[in-house]
Structure 1
């Protein structure tokens, strides 16, 4: 009986050792699998971005703060912070930032990264120095103008509205057929001072080129093209 008990004990010990080395017991095997999955899902940031920090808004998060680079030149603003999140604009990471930070808005996409601008211009709540919301000026005139994007793949006529301001500056808002807009801000001298997604946004200097031909301003904003006549700006 003693011999049989010792044999059974030795066999049980051998089985436990074998299971331990094979990862059948304990969290070692599961931990290794989790690490492998985490490594496989880690996003490789393109070289076109200047990535800052190790996560936004918290360390280890998927999104990152972005500095100046070729991919972000059109989206930088000295009054805002630029954040990039891997994936589309409807991803959970993007929704978490835009949904919880009232000054955050999606401004574009580049190289598989959704770009979010977060305004850093905040006044103390209840402060007498806080600025009241600016009432948007009424549209002075409307019409249509030639427009294209995607390097000429989309050529059409877009509706526009222009606001003539008291300081002789102008804001032209172009309405694309898909519902998106482009606001182009002109100074009193007729030169472009910036563009934005909407007239209520802050003008942002960026990759904007302008040349004039026969009284028409030929304007390039990234891969977008617009033709705005001088008469639109002068109100004649």
Structure 2
């Protein structure tokens, strides 16, 4: 009888020791999820649909910020004399040197004066090229009428050192480009047109409003400031 009791006591002690040595449960991925979610919510990971994001970097290709076009969310921030840029982080926005004008869906919006973004406009740097392009300057200009489009902003780039005079390439909402030619004195010359797309049959005209050239092709209208064409 005694030996049987001794064996039972020893077995009970072993169970207690083994139970005390069981390793603590490691946290699951679900346990860590709240912390990860908090980090992810600090800034948007992608550009929101509420913004018209243009290009592949601002002020230069590959940069973190982007040019922002006109939408209902940004219409009050657009300015003829400045580029509206958006950055996914406040730190990147601060590097642009412009004025923070608002935030839309986590994106910081910055108004950057065109003269600050255009090399060669009285800044002592010469009429340099915008990195990764053949343009001497890039920026938005007012445009309307393409396929019935309402007034808005179109991205444009200017080549000032062409042999026959400056010309501007305007990128339209669907990616089509319009080339507008100027004489060496900065006066309007013509548009590039073609029979294939019907533009050759469209009437061309121009007028002046202050220091801005209004160039029209059929129902299309483009407003080009003198400073954009020739620098200052």
**TM-score, reference length from structure 2:** 0.37
